[in-house]
A and B are shown apart, each in its own frame.
Chain A
Amino acid sequence: MGTLLLLLGILLLAQPARAGSLIENKSYTSPKTTIRYSLWGGTETVEMNRIICEKFVTAHPDIAVDASVYPWGQYWAKLQTQTASGLAPDVISIYTAAIGIWVDRGALMPLDALVQRAGLDLDDYYQAALDNFIWDGQIYAFPLEIALAGLVYSIDRLEESGIPPEEWPKSDQSLSWAEYETLARRLTLKNPDGSIAQYGMAGGWSWNPIMFRHRGGTVLDRQVDPTRATVAGNEALASGIIGVFEAMYGHRYHASPETVNAAGLSGDSILLSPKFAMSFLGPWTLRNFQRAGVRVGLSPPPHGPSPQQLISVNAVGIYAGAKQPEAAWKLVQFMASEAVQPIFGQRLRGVPVLKSAKDALINNDYDIKGCEAFLADLDIARPFRSDTNTYVPAAVDKWSQETERLLDNEYDRRLFALQKNYPNSPLTNDAYNAFSDQMSAFVAATVRNRLPQLQQQLDAAFARAHRQEPSPFVRTALPALILGALLAALAAYLFAVRRQHEVQTLPQPQTNWAAYLCLGPWLFGFVCFTVGPILASTLLSFTEWNMIKAPLWIGAQHYVDMFSDVYFGMGLEKTFTYAAFAIPISLIGGLTTAGLLTSNIRGADVFKAIFYFPSLFTGAAAAILWVNMFNKEYGIVNRLLSLVGIAPINWLDTDHAFFTVVLMNFFWIGGATIIYYAGMKQIPRSLYEAAEIDGAGAFRRFFNITLPMLSPVILFMVVMTTIGAFQVFTPALFFASDSSQIGAPGDALRFYSVNIYDEAFNNLHMGKACAWAVVLFLLIFAITMVQFKLSKRFVHSEG
């Protein structure tokens, strides 16, 4: 015990002091008050942020700023866990699409009183930008800069195509959609076999919604109707969606998301790849191209029949639990002031929200010409607000991905069929044109047919988020029933196990205090870290709780909702399927290898060690290695398969990712090998010798001696593998681009445990996550019990 305490002491001392902050790790003065501020971005943001913070601490010597810059995906993941743990920064960066969610969660403080007291004249700011952050009549964040996008084209690609500079898009005049399409198609180059060598356009930032809007369609944002989907019967939207898919899979002058992903670049840096000629990007991407030596030109977005520019606005809000709200507001106000606003333009982060500062973008610090292109659409700017319902964008994504996959496969199939007609010569012009026209017609028909499905999925998403007022039965009776069932299960378990162990129970009923002291560490952990939390989880599962506001009792509503939740069934299906592969792989792989090793061979110990070695690597490093080896383009697995004439497979896409994760289990059979090997070694040789004398062949010996004698070991391994398989999580994390995307690609890796993590730490639905976790526990419990029951029949025991 003393050692324990000593160690805890060491632990305390050894904690590195919490020095400054994260990536940009600087305290700017040594003052009385320190406020924490975090934002997303890359190197440029860090640099800009340094300038702003230095200015701020000069103006306010009594306040220090501890600023952190994260990459986009990590920023949101961090903010979730930080708010959940009460450690959110005082000043939170936020943007249009996220504001509703965070206001709903109660993470942001209303700023009205502060704005009024500071005497800010809101007319000095773009109204469209301010509108974004007014929620229920109150302003929850102050806008800083507007993300407006423009058509960005690679000058090199245009020069290569021999397009004279006079015909390049102009920075002060937008193209029409027809002109844009002609240009994009001209910049799309085909290989002799009909595959695409260079795409005219790669989507970029909010391209699709803008296409829908320009055709007069409305998108799914809060301004349309926050309570239901508006897809069915919306002909303008339909034509917009068809237009987008036609460009990607019909005439294919627009790179599909799959193609962009395969290039290994994020959308913001897509023009670094010479495979793409244009994209639709914001000013914040330009410096990156300049640094990489990619020359780009700018033009306002093309204009259609009902031109609108959807804008996202970046803002700063104050954390509802901020310890220094006054000091935090000073920073917010400072960033919205004349002193700082031009910096956002000069550093090309976005259009300053202060009207008088907008020209700073044109005269930016990097001497990038043509930025007036971004200002052209300010007058037709509409906020791109999304709903607080996080399931809705997920439903749209899912539908789009399914449609993309369908069209992509059809495109590949048709092109392959066409190529077979031209084995040794380039495709003829006519054949290719006929092919792409047919493909276009197919795209239009398919997308149109699938639109009702989108409507359905959206309705389901809205229904999923809309929690019904729990009935009295659900509110009180059902929780009691569930608790009762849990207790009954526990009692049944104890009863069953006690009976099994009855014979071994010795009549030694004495109280041995030293013994209880020995058990102390475990008892402490059992009560505080196991039983307590399980009870807490069970109680929390009857509440709605986001860790920010107080839990709200809703009874067993989460359990009721579960059955109508697509992810519940999907999670179970994926998990069971995974287990159904993992268990036999471990069983058969382990038995086979152990069988080989016990066949009286030389060097069995060396082989054993080699077989076991890979199973040590189950974590991050192995997942990274796996993702690399199975890459379609540069992965070694496809190279090896090509040696035996198998066409490249995209192992990491929606169709195959699950299978690829299952394959990892072959890599881990070694653990089972060792245990089965040891088990086989313990079987008395005399049994085999006797069987051999009786004339039993190798197979009969295996089935009649080895298997029965090994059965207790097999049972143990099966139980352990099952428990492990039900908790599979790490591969899903590394197959997704970051933890907020967990489950990707598509929903391929939405294991049950992934859903729990996603609900808890990405959606902050703690109550729901607890309910799902309780069900998982019951499942594992039930399955283990069944396995033990079955074992009585099949397992040989030398009792």
Chain B
Amino acid sequence: MDASRIGLYAALFAITAVLLFPFYWVLSSSVKSREGMAMSPPAFYPSEVRKESIEIAADGRVFSHAGNDWLLLARSEDKLNGGEEMGDYYVRLNADGPSQLVAWLPNAAVQPQPTDQRIYRFPRAQVHILENESRIAILAKMVRQNEEQNRVDELLFAVPAGSDTVADILTFHNVPHTEIRQWHFRWANYPETLAGPEAAIGEESTGFFTYMRNSFFISFLAVLGQVLSSSLVAYGFARLQFKGRELLFIFLLATMMIPGQVTLIPLFSIYKYLGWIDTFFPLIILHFTAGAFNVFLMRQYMLTLPKELDESAAMDGCGTFRTYFYIILPNCVPVLIVVGLFTFVYTWQDVMGPLIYLDNPEYRTVTLGLEYFRSPYVDNRHLLMTGAVLAMLPVAALFAFFQRYIMSGIATTGLKG
């Protein structure tokens, strides 16, 4: 293989990588936790910061202050503050174990606690690696303004792995450290997404399955309508002779140029008059009136069928419609599949229509459901990506299944008949 062919394949693989990367990204993000989603810089794979549960004997270092129990982490004279007032660094305790807050409290303010011989759990302490390559579990962290230098000092309170006494707590002052990331798949994203956007804030939700069902219902009827009506119209244009055929066909082609916005408002009024707002009708009805592009596509295909088909059918006594249904349609399966798939892909992904016409959450489509996952109250970024995967899945599956037909079908669209 010469150099130019290697370059050719390299280019093809490079394009493949670029085009498929977003799919890798959406799939991998769909099993990321909220934490994994918000990592900065982002990890290339679903991950979380490694965490360990640390248990520490309090060893007489629990004090009370302002109605809370505090665990003494470090004495200020060890290092750090250097102010005039003496004080120590504490972490506040609550019923379930220490919380992550660290405070600097003046010595005079704290009272020793008598019942302090318990074991304290630091559940999920983050494991980091220090610059000198030793591993520590961070119990608490504090960022303080350094008044003298007008900058921030970072204080770390950590234990080496395996420690279990307060005496092992180390304090670090402005030491570079990096978190240890590990693989973490959060499969629960899928059930949570399927439960629906409101479920994420603890409310009743119609759920993603309902959206799927609605989208399937709308898309299915749209496909049916489009396949039946477009093929019938295309049959008329391709195989029948009648007055005004050319003129009507020109009109048909011209409708491809009409932007949806032009008819939007009158259509909205018509549907409103018919009482069809907040029903699926507006999203389906147009598909039963033959899309211009689909008619064009099918006509091109039907023109390639031999004339003898109709003639022999006529001799067998088939009328116009019987010929259409029993002779022409069965011969058009590839193009019917293409039109059906295009229609499905279009209706499945339509945002504008459902946004304008649908209101009731019972009727939400998948695209609207996704819109509702973008809640202003909760950070749902991880579920949103799972939702995106669920929304893409049917389209991807259909493509995989009918790939051959689609490829040849699209190819014919651009070619002159």
Taking Cβ atoms with an 8 Å cutoff, the residues of B that contact A are 5, 8-9, 11-12, 15-16, 18-20, 22-23, 25-26, 29, 37-42, 44, 66, 101-104, 142-145, 148-152, 198, 201-205, 217, 221, 224-225, 228-229, 232-233, 235-237, 240-243, 245-248, 250-252, 254-272, 277-281, 284-286, 288-290, 295, 319-321, 324, 345, 348-352, 355-356, 359-363, 366-367, 370-372, 374-377, 379, 381, 384-385, 387-389, 391-392, 395-396, 399, 403, 406-407, 410-416
Contacts and interface: CB of A to CB of B under 8 A. Distances in A.
A524 B289 contact: yes
Given A23-B203, A515-B241, 13 more contacts: A87-B277, A159-B103, A189-B152, A192-B152, A508-B241, A512-B240, A516-B236, A518-B240, A599-B8, A610-B16, A619-B367, A634-B40, A773-B261
Contacts of A734: 371
A746 to B, nearest CB: 19
A432 interface: yes
A433 B317 CA distance: 96
Q: Pick the most buried of B25, B258, B271: most chain A CB atoms within 10 A of its CB.
A: B258
A373 B267 CA distance: 52
Interface stretch (A78-86, A133-141, A222-230, A404-412): A78-86
A501 interface: yes
B44 A519 contact: no
Contacts of A504: 246
B258 to A, nearest CB: 6
Contacts of B371: 620, 733-734, 738-739
A647 to B, nearest CB: 13
A31 interface: no
In the A-B complex, the 8 residue pairs with the closest CB atoms: A525-B289, A619-B349, A678-B411, A518-B236, A675-B414, A533-B266, A536-B266, A533-B263
Given A534-B263, A608-B407, A682-B415, A624 B384 contact: yes
19 contacts: A11-B221, A71-B375, A71-B377, A73-B376, A81-B356, A189-B145, A190-B152, A264-B379, A515-B320, A517-B321, A528-B289, A529-B285, A533-B267, A597-B12, A607-B12, A610-B20, A713-B415, A733-B352, A777-B259
A416 interface: no
Nearest to B9: A601
Given A197-B152, A781-B257, A618 B349 contact: yes
Contact of A675 (B257, B320, B376, B411): B411
Contacts of B198: 23
Contact of A192 (B151, B246, B285, B388): B151
Interface in A1-36: 3-4, 7-8, 11, 14-16, 18-19, 21-25
Given A25-B204, A71-B377, A624-B384, A82 B359 contact: yes
A757 B15 CA distance: 36
A296 to B, nearest CB: 14
A266 B376 CA distance: 6
Interface residues of A, number: 165
B102 to A, nearest CB: 7
Contacts of B16: 607, 610-611
Contacts of B148: 429
A780 B257 contact: yes
A639 B41 contact: yes
Contacts of B387: 621, 624
B403 to A, nearest CB: 5
Given A86-B272, A266-B376, A612 B407 contact: yes
B259 A518 contact: no
Contact of A518 (B101, B145, B324, B381): B324
A156 interface: yes
A702 interface: no
A774 B320 contact: no
Nearest to B229: A521
A604 to B, nearest CB: 9
A730 B229 contact: no
Contacts of B389: 621
Given A515-B242, A596-B12, A616-B399, A712 B416 contact: yes
B40 A633 contact: yes
Contacts of A452: none
Contact of B143 (A197, A433, A612): A197
Contact of B391 (A161, A621, A717, A753): A621
Contact of A616 (B228, B320, B345, B359): B345
Contact of B254 (A493, A729, A772): A493
A524 B288 CA distance: 10
Contacts of A86: 272, 277
Interface in A712-757: 712-713, 716-717, 723, 726-727, 729-730, 733-734, 737-739, 753, 756-757
Given A607-B16, A608-B407, A624-B370, A634 B37 contact: yes
B150 A190 contact: yes
Nearest to B218: A11
Nearest to B4: A599
A651 to B, nearest CB: 14
A130 interface: no
B226 to A, nearest CB: 10
Contact of A159 (B101, B259, B366): B101
A525 B388 contact: no
Q: Pick the most buried of A432, A612, A616: most chain B CB atoms within 10 A of its CB.
A: A616
B250 A498 contact: yes
Contacts of B280: 11, 15
B250 A494 contact: yes
Nearest to A753: B261
A64 to B, nearest CB: 17
Contacts of A593: 15
Contacts of B246: 498, 501, 504-505
Interface string A468-501: 0000000000000000000000000110011001
A71 B363 contact: no
Given A498-B250, A608-B407, A674-B411, A191 B151 contact: yes
A776 interface: yes
Given A43-B202, A536-B266, A761 B12 contact: no
A83 to B, nearest CB: 11
Contact of A87 (B205, B286, B355, B359): B359
Contacts of A617: 349, 392, 395
B355 A739 contact: yes
Contacts of B374: 737-738
B267 to A, nearest CB: 5
Contacts of B8: 596, 599, 601
B344 to A, nearest CB: 10
B248 A625 contact: no
Nearest to A536: B266
Nearest to B398: A616
A540 interface: yes
A457 interface: no
A635 interface: yes
A145 to B, nearest CB: 19
A634 B34 CA distance: 12
A635 B259 CA distance: 34
A522 B289 contact: yes
A678 B376 contact: no
B248 A519 contact: yes
Nearest to A756: B261
Given A667-B22, A733-B351, A428 B149 contact: yes
B415 A678 contact: yes
A522 B230 CA distance: 8
Contacts of B410: 612, 671, 674-675, 678
Nearest to B145: A189
B349 A620 contact: yes
B368 to A, nearest CB: 8
A417 B109 CA distance: 45
B19 A620 contact: no
Contacts of A738: 371, 374
Contact of B19 (A265, A521, A613): A613
Nearest to A602: B9
